[in-house]
Homo-oligomer: A and B are copies of this chain.
Amino acid sequence: MSAGEGPDAELLGRVFLSRVIEPGDEVGGRWVREFGLPEVVRRLRGDGAALPGVSGVRWAGLLARGARAEPERDLAVARAAGARFVPPGHAEWPGQLDDLGDARPLGLWVRGRPSLRMWALRSVAVVGARACTEYGTHVAATLAAGLAERGWVVVSGGAYGIDGAAHRGALAAGGATAAVLASGVDRPYPRGHAALIDRIAEQGLVVGELPPGDHPTPSRFILRNRVIAALTRGTVVVEAACRSGSLATARAAQRLGRYTMGVPGPVTSGLSAGVHELLRGEAVLVTDAAEVVELVGDIGELAPSRTGPVLPRDLLEPAARAVLAALPGDRAAPAGDIALGARTTPDEAIARLYELRALGYVERHGDGWKLTRQAMISVRTGRRPC
């Protein structure tokens, strides 16, 4: 790969770096900021002096990775697995990830139809223990379903336990869910969740920082959590023992100025002890989806009739316009009916409906979708809504 210029070189450079530099490595982030992407790529390709801030041994390790990196091949493998690479600045890049500073991902690998940027606008993380109780499974699934029914995207880590229950709860409610993995998005982890994660990629989004084929490691799990925290408006911890990894997500959310919430449980349960610890600090106690939305929702959330779409209808993607046109003008309709009207699949309709929700065009009420009042006015009058 040359260190040429232009959008392709930028993309290939970031794919190259996502193979060479570990997720969340702030030294790498600083290099890109201080030396510029082409120069960092050139040096890591072995052309020029070592970059500052790392030992000779570590630099040699990075050069060895750089020598083996094949970004064009990574992109081709990803494409074959239905994944795309979304770098910062891309139309699909969620701007809130920039809050991570030098620990910002070099780019994200994404599987799924929806726009990551739009889905992330109205998303909440629901995370917790892998070895959870039946109470935790029940609460996570109910909470996720309730969030989905209120038009919110449920983000989690795809793990066993609370994560899986949250994803399943959202899927079962015909809702939107995104799994942020600590592995390559073509190599779902844990293997026992391969079918679930494929289902999430169909109906929602599967996201990760690691290039195709990469495996998770303990530190990658921990660094993945910062992406979940940064991507969402808030993090809800459902069950967590003291010193659980999901508490790290909650603390990352707190540091990033996101809402941190916890669902209480019996004080006799060790799997609620970590959550209670969090609730004795700055986190807010929540008992259901309505309380989560009350906290993370903006003013428009509380008074939906007064807010309108944030993007003119003419600028919508054709697929989103088709779904919008299939909504009845006067009542709510289930996603399946809207899909039929738009001549598309239910999964595609769900992808667009949650995008349109983020843009203020539609609302979800229980099982049905309907136009917001502002969107209806713009439909009737032909006026641009904003």
Q: Which residues of A contact B (CB under 8 A)?
A: 135, 138-139, 263-268, 272-273, 276, 279-280, 284-288, 291
* Cross-chain contact B279 with A264 (CB below 8 angstroms): yes
Q: How far is the CB of A44 from chain B (nearest CB, A)?
A: 49
* Cross-chain contact A267 with B287 (CB below 8 angstroms): yes
* Cross-chain contact A265 with B263 (CB below 8 angstroms): no
CA–CA, A280 to B139, complex, Å? 18
Contacts of A268 in B (CB 8 A): 135, 138-139
Which one, B265, B266, B273, B291, contacts A280 given CB within 8 A? Answer: B291
Contacts of A139 in B (CB 8 A): 267-268
Which one, B265, B279, B284, B286, contacts A265 given CB within 8 A? Answer: B265
Sample of 13 A–B contacts (CB below 8 Å): A135-B268, A264-B264, A264-B272, A264-B285, A265-B265, A265-B266, A265-B267, A266-B266, A267-B287, A267-B288, A276-B285, A279-B279, A280-B284
Considering only CB atoms, which chain B residue lies closest to A288 in the complex?
B267
* Cross-chain contact A267 with B263 (CB below 8 angstroms): yes
* Cross-chain contact A285 with B287 (CB below 8 angstroms): no
CA–CA, A268 to B137, complex, Å? 12
Which one, B138, B267, B272, B285, contacts A279 given CB within 8 A? Answer: B285
* Cross-chain contact B287 with A276 (CB below 8 angstroms): yes
CA–CA, A67 to B276, complex, Å? 57
Q: How far is the CB of A128 from chain B (nearest CB, A)?
A: 13
CA–CA, A265 to B266, complex, Å? 4
